[in-house]
Amino acid sequence: MICAMSETPADDVNSPWERAFAEARAAAARGEAPIGACVVKDGEILAAAGNRTIEDHDPTAHAEVLALREAARKLRDERLIGCDLYVTLEPCAMCAGAISFARIRRLYFAAEDEKGGAVENGPRFFAQKTCHHRPEVYGGIRAGEAAELLRDFFKARR
């Protein structure tokens, strides 16, 4: 189930969205693609990360994967039952697979990724009959803000 949400920013500086966007801005400052993710359980932020593929020399160091890894370590469980993931860009196929295997309850994402996304675009990972776990999906939250952050980052690099 994919639902569009409003673009109303959160007021709370400790909100999952504010944390995910802060991680995205920090990634951009390090020269990484400005994508941030945050894992939440019972209203508590368990983990947050920004992309680190260049810094870590690791093609799997996407914000989502890093946040899922940290949350799993904190909970001492590979299954993040009851956890929600907030991410500033529609997850790719690799990240969608990790989200499914982690058993994330709800996925919230900001901007769609027509080229590399795998939730509403591309392979539509969670709609495949081979997908073992499908989170509830809510896209388009603060999409304009996320798209602008990405546009500005890549424009400056050209």
Residue 18: active-site member:
no
Q: Which two tokens stand for residue 15?
A: 């909100």
Q: Which two tokens stand for residue 77?
A: 């469980």
Q: How many CB atoms lie within 10 A of CB 32?
A: 21
Indicate which residue of 23, 32, 64, 90 is catalytic.
64
The phi, psi pair for 83, rounded to 5°, reads -95, 150
C-alpha distance from residue 126 to each of 18, 29, 89, 115 (Å):
26, 32, 16, 17
The per-residue DSSP string of 109-136 comes to EEE--TTT-SSSSTT-GGGSTT-S---E
Active site residues: 64
